[in-house]
Homo-oligomer: A and B are copies of this chain.
Amino acid sequence: MQRSVDFSRWYQDIVLQAELADYSPVKGCMVIRPEGYAIWEKMQQHLNVRIRAAGAKNAYFPLFIPESFLQKEAEHVEGFAPECAVVTEAGGKHLEEKLIVRPTSETIINSMMAKWIQSYRDLPFAINQWANVVRWEMRTRLFLRTTEFLWQEGHTCHATADDARAMTLRMLFSYRDFAEEVLAMPVIVGQKTDSERFAGADKTYCIEAMMQDGKALQAGTSHDLGQHFSQAFGTMFLDRDGQKKHVFQTSWGVSTRLIGGLIMTHADDQGMVLPPKVAAEPIVIVPILGKVGNERVLEACQQVAAQLGSFGIEVRIDADETKQAGWKFAEAELHGVPLRIDIGARDLDRGSVTLVRRDTREKLQMELSQVVSESRRLLGVMQADMLACARARLETLTFAGAPETFAQHIEQGFVRGAWCGAVACEASLKEQLKATIRCLPIDDAGNVKYVDGACVHCGTQSTGKSVEAIFARSY
């Protein structure tokens, strides 16, 4: 598995060999295997904390959306209709109205919110759903592009446009925090251009991560929906002033494609590398078994595991006697277990054991009595180091844009520079260089940055009308 030779093949090999996912016999659909699903469950735990903190509660809405619902918001149906899977028969009969397998749930959720929300006292209203969604794809890329994927979608209603905008940004920055603190995946936050906007949104914001090959991965989106859906579905509230008004809405989501992002950010030629916070078992202990003293060794392993367990750290002891230690080391590397502890009889005699960090593959000798405290410390260090390492790459491979170097830099990573704002320029970027504007970076208040100078792609000069953009090829 060599990243440098064939990145795309390397990625697929990691996914299949580390048993994170597999191709299914259903076109475009994947199977998420236990190793991959465990990562998703860890992500869910961390995200649920953030979602609850934002005031949203989990709920569940129907998988099927009547075709007429999708059609109520003109841009929305135009954007999603080409990707829809459609149920036309059920219970042995032809359906009078076709049912769309949800590609996203703004419409069906609005039909309920219109009923539940009456007054300003019901606002803000925030709900989140963990669900499967379907967007038809012919070319499958495990985790990154599949017909069916798992995600969470949050939906909120507010009394004012300002409140909706604040919520949109709150969740966007919450996603950034999650990506960086939990996934150790640094991201750029920004606004999408109109052509990349969610179908039915006023504005779409995103977090964009850089993969090891310099390409971008959209890792999460947050939409300021304005009143598009509340007008289409009559989602209204009686305001303090006695007037009935349409609510302002947001929606936001991240999906199982984050697992693909995790792989392309951290994995190496030996296999997966998991940040400690998303590893179901952050530590594996390998007892080095020999002809004598195995009982002592296993007992020491169990003691260390029990002590780590008392700190809430899940530890697996790989005591399978039919396998050699070398095979176990390779397995732990392939599956990306953050920290490995090797304990053998000779180590116990010498009073020292070996720790191996997965991220740097560094070996550390230490006294047995230090193993627990050092392991706990190292998990924290690795989490921080992995973020720092990925951030350094993001910085190194983000180039200041200039028309003369643009084509060259876009082959290597991100280009940050002025964009004229013309739709034609954006279209030619795609056609000529297979690149897109990933986002228009925003500050903490959510504002894009207007800049002087020539558009880095088309060279158009402008004064203060160009906007700073991130250009890149993407997944």
> Footprint of B on A, CB under 8 Å?
22, 24-26, 29-34, 36-38, 40-41, 57-66, 69, 81-92, 98-99, 101, 108, 111-112, 115-116, 127, 131-132, 134, 136-138, 147-148, 150
Q: In the complex, which residue of chain B has the Cβ closest to the Cβ of A134?
A: B63
Give A322's nearest chain B residue, CB to CB.
B121
When A24-B61, A31-B61, A148-B64 are in contact, do A99 and B112 touch as well, CB less than 8 Å? no
**Distance between Cα atoms of A99 and B26 in the complex (Å):** 9
Q: How far is the CA of A95 from the CA of B192 in the complex (A)?
A: 34
Given contacts A24-B108, A66-B25, A91-B138, contact A58 B86 (CB under 8 A): no
Q: What is the bound-complex CA distance between A247 and B148, given in angstroms?
A: 29
Contact (Cβ within 8 A) A60 B31: yes
Given contacts A86-B88, A92-B81, contact A127 B24 (CB under 8 A): no
CA distance A138 to B90 in the complex (A): 10
The reply to whether A38 and B61 contact each other, CB–CB distance below 8 Å, is no
- Whether B34 and A65, one on each chain, are in contact in the complex, defined by CB atoms closer than 8 angstroms, is no
In the complex, residue of chain B having the shortest beta-carbon distance to the beta carbon of A256: B60
The answer to whether B99 and A90 touch across the interface, beta carbons within 8 angstroms, is no
Residues of B within 8 A of A25 (CB): 66, 69, 108, 111
List of B residues within 8 angstroms of A82 by Cβ: 91-92
Tell me which residues across on chain B come within 8 A of A136, comparing CB atoms: 90-91
Contact B88 A88 (CB under 8 A): yes
Q: Are B90 and A87 in contact (CB under 8 A)?
A: no
* Contact B37–A59 (Cβ < 8 Å): yes
Classify the secondary structure of A's interface with B: mixed
Most B-side CB within 10 Å, residue of A40, A99, A131: A99
CB distance from A244 to the nearest CB of B (A): 21
Closest A-B pairs by Cβ, 8 of them: A91-B136, A34-B57, A29-B62, A32-B60, A85-B90, A86-B89, A26-B62, A88-B88
A22 and B461 alpha carbons, distance in the complex (Å): 57
Sample of 19 further A-B pairs with CB below 8 A, known A31-B61, A86-B87, A87-B101:
A22-B115, A24-B61, A25-B69, A25-B111, A26-B66, A26-B99, A29-B63, A31-B60, A36-B59, A38-B58, A41-B58, A63-B148, A64-B147, A85-B87, A86-B90, A87-B87, A88-B88, A91-B138, A132-B132
From A30, A61, A98, residue with most partner B Cβ within 10 Å: A61
Cα of A62 to Cα of B88 in the assembled complex, Å: 19
Residues of B within 8 A of A131 (CB): 132
Whether B85 and A99, one on each chain, are in contact in the complex, defined by CB atoms closer than 8 angstroms, is: yes
One of B59, B84, B90, B101 near A32 (C-beta < 8 A): B59
A101 to nearest B CB, angstroms?
A: 7
| A40 contacts across to B, CB distance below 8 A | 60
Q: Could you say which of B58, B59, B64 contacts A31, with CB atoms under 8 Å apart?
A: B59
Considering only CB atoms, which chain B residue lies closest to A41 in the complex?
Answer: B58
Q: Decide: B62 and A30 in contact? CB cutoff 8 A.
A: yes
Chain B residues within 8 Å of A148, by CB = 62-64
Q: A82-B91, A87-B86 are in contact. Are A64 and B22 (CB under 8 A)?
A: no
